Structure 1
């Protein structure tokens, strides 16, 4: 069986999408057919492989924020959030309002999709001009190294942006689980925005307003098969997110996410029912670089497949990403980022392979050397 996921399976999308990705083989299917084979196209260059000596000491962990304290106005917890955003760009939140049952049902829905036969999953293959659906993202060349990952991407908010033909509604409970999770995660995002707004010297609704008429939300569902040679491959290549924030749930017992911190990589150890949050490129621009998006990647392992579910909160297409007034002044903190429309930035990122923080250079003001 040919494991390639063919794009263009869904016709009728004539409007220009945000970006597109070339069709590539299903990694899950390759592993099913030959669990020992690692094709050359997935073997990373030596400089990009996840080598042990690049890891930070195991005692270093990303900050953990008690969400219940944060939303009740606890000053110490808000200070912790400021440090987490400024020095790490990543944090985990506990005691949040997304119920354990909703998270469980969401994980089950995603697992049920990836358990479908390849022929069924192909019915939801990405269109030729967009990234909605099943396949792999950021594949812009027939020659680039590929990630050891299959993915499904769905827009979930606002309702007019949903493309229901990509939703596998034949899976019992899939639609209901995704919609309930999306609703609860959006409320959580709004609370995080309210607190970051205050930290940025604005009123609590400012970041929400900055997103435009209505915040958009997209969900990327990742499936990382086990790999016989995990030291040669990457589940997801190093990158920062073109979102304002990203909210992630991961498997409770498998560590795969790693973030760049100082000169090394820090594994993000799962905390059951915690949600991992990271600052995206949008807030880096709005905050004038005070809060930076952070390079992160995913690694694989020999023994078990891993799943993760990343929810991206993004602004309207025409929203500008330049620094807000409270984060810039001509004397102490000049503007380091340009005003650029979000849709232009998003299309730029999706037209390139994942490459660390390279995309954010488009946002930055070029300083003339004297």
Structure 2
């Protein structure tokens, strides 16, 4: 059962109604879909692959296998021969790119390439959010304005660069444990060849098939709240694998920490604006993140209720 694949270029031509309907289906029924013909040049994507792989090889791989916590804990567990599985750790090398962080310094053209990529990806995210606005029947720019906490450019746009190296005992550890994403729109540039990403649909885990130069989209918890439950954030995970190093570059268009998030007023009854019958609250995103940090791998509904705006 492959996840939906949407030709995003149709949004600007006669195929727009079809593309809009596909985006609606992807958001409402899946929470995950892939965009092709999304406007980001293939040449740029090839450079992103190159510098990301070079950065991992040059600056990350040796220390991961020599001194990282996952490698150390897995070795200890194997030596015990208990048959247990590591429950609270991921087989993942990861670092975050944001405007405030120090970026890897030793990989040629890494910063220039990833800065250009992030600029293009942010524009794609904002175009996609406008399509979501239209499909939800809320004013154009509503999601972006909500994430910015009003006017201006205060939303957070971060990029998580991950690699999942070959694991000698993949049955004993997760690549990344099952979770939903805390934020808004997630745009993933995943490996062309090495799989492992799965989503939970209908009680079954299904693969997110690698598709060259596509961008995988998923909706986070804040979109679920803002859409009043019409769009759902979806449980997903990454399996550790015995062969191949999986590259995963996930970018997050998230609300400002000071932004107040709640169901869009157009999507709830006038007499019930603060909380609908399901229980989606209004809250400050920073408060939500404080809880999410502690409960990322636990059910999301208690998080929603724990941050009810008073």
Coarse TM-score class (shorter-chain normalised): 0.7 to 0.9
User: 1:206: which partner in 2?
Assistant: 142
Please give the alpha-carbon distance, in whole angstroms, between the structure 1 residues aligned to 2:167 and 2:62.
24
Do residues 188 (structure 1) and 141 (structure 2) align?
A: no
Provide closer, same or farther for how the CA distance between residues 118 and 185 of structure 1 changes in structure 2, counting only shifts above 3 A.
closer
Match of 1:147 among 78, 90, 99: 90
- Give the conservation status (yes or no) of the 8 Å contact 1:260–1:294: yes
| Residues 257, 297 of structure 1: 8 Å contact kept | yes
User: What displacement does 1:121 show?
Assistant: 6.9
Tell me the equivalent position of 2:178: 238
Residue equivalent to 1:68:
9
The TM-score normalised by the length of structure 1 is 0.71
Q: Deviations over 1:177-232 (max 9, x none)?
A: 11000000001001100000011111221111111132321111111011123233
8 Å contact from structure 1 (residues 135, 150) kept in 2: no
Shift of 1:329: 1.2
Distance 1:208 1:75, change over 3 A: same
Q: Aligned runs of 1:90-169 on 2, under 5 Å?
A: 90-117=32-59, 145-156=88-99, 162-163=100-101, 166-169=102-105
Q: Which residue of 2 aligns with 1:6?
A: none
1:78 aligns with 2:34: no
Contact 1:149 1:224 in 2 (8 A): yes
CA distance in 2, matches of 1:284, 1:239: 14
* Cα 1:110/1:103, change in 2 over 3 Å: same
Task: Mark the CA change 1:167 to 1:233 in structure 2 (over 3 Å): closer, same or farther.
Answer: same
Secondary structure (helix, strand or coil) at the match of 1:107 reads helix
Structure 2 partner of 1:305: 245
| Partner SS, residue 217 of structure 1 | strand
| Aligned mate of 1:278, from 218, 229, 249 | 218
CA apart distance, 1:351:
2.7
Match in the other structure for 1:337: 280
* Aligned residues of 1:256 and 1:267 also touching (Cα < 8 A): yes
Unaligned runs of 5+ in 2: 71-85
Q: CA deviation at 1:74?
A: 1.1
**Alignment RMSD:** 2.5
CA distance change for structure 1 residues 277 and 328 in 2, over 3 Å: closer, same or farther? Answer: same
Separation (CA, whole Å) in 2 of partners of 1:107 and 1:324 = 38
Moved segments of 4+, more than 6 Å: 119-122
Q: Following the alignment from structure 1 to structure 2, what is the Cα–Cα distance between the partners of residues 272 and 76? A: 23
Distance in structure 1 (CA, Å) of the matches to 2:305 and 2:11: 32
Give CA deviations for 1:323-347 in whole Å, capped at 9, x if unaligned: 0111111589646311110011112
State the TM-score, normalizing by the size of structure 2.
Answer: 0.84
Query: How many Å separate the matches in 2 of 1:331 and 1:86?
Result: 25
Query: Which digits, 9 at most, give the CA deviation of each residue in 1:94-122, with x for residues without a partner?
Result: 11111111111112222122112559979
Alignment length, in residue pairs?
Answer: 281
Partner SS for 1:183: helix
Provide the rounded CA distance (Å) in 1 between the counterparts of 2:184 and 2:158.
12
Q: For 1:231 and 1:75, how far apart are their aligned partners in 2?
A: 45
Asked whether the 8 Å contact 1:323–1:335 carries over to 2, the reply is no
**More helix by proportion, 1 or 2?**
2
**Equivalent residue of 2:58, what SS?**
coil
1:258 match: 198
Maintained 8 Å contact 2:186/2:251: yes
SS across alignment from 2:55: helix
Deviation of 1:362 (Å) = 2.0
Aligned partners of 1:321 and 1:211: how far apart in 2? 8
- Contact 2:59–2:106 (8 Å) recurs in 1: no
